[in-house]
Amino acid sequence: MSWKKERDLLIAQTMAFVQSVTGKQPDAELDVDAKPILAAAPAVEAAPLEAAKINAAEIITSPAAPPKDVPVDIQIPRMIVASDVRTEIQARVANFRAHQERFNRERAEYFCATLTKLRAAIESDSAPDRSDMTPPRR
């Protein structure tokens, strides 16, 4: 038997089982080809129907109440208020500005220190003796 026939047989058997459990009559919309496949299929032994029945009351039960000794603390998330968002944004902007001001101050201090060192190096170095230099050729 090909896998397609096996698949169709399984679908037909499943639909028949579902209809037998729910108590519905078979739909007229089923494939016409499904009935000959059921007749031609080898007999499959199944468990008795009583073993397959499930008591719906056992499955669908009312939700169990929480035990009395366990406190139920449900934390409801706090609503985001526009003023909270605004204060958070203002705090972040203030932190960013403070960081930029510190960065600019440190950069200016470094520039001044480097310029001072350069001027000191230029002043301490005496002017080179021009006699060592050869005149440029023309």
The DSSP line for 10-71 is: HHHHHHHHHHHHHTPPPPTTS-TTHHHHHHHSPP-----HHHH---HHHHS-PPPPPPTTS-
Q: Tell me what pLDDT residue 2 has.
A: 85
C-beta of residue 9 within 8 angstroms of C-beta of residue 38? yes
pLDDT, one tens digit for every residue, the chain (138 residues): 689 999 999 999 999 998 888 876 655 555 555 554 444 555 556 555 555 555 555 555 555 665 566 666 777 777 777 788 889 999 999 999 999 999 999 999 999 999 999 999 998 886 555 555 566 666
pLDDT for residue 118? 93
The pLDDT, as a whole number, for residue 74 is 75
In this predicted structure, what is the pLDDT of residue 11? 93
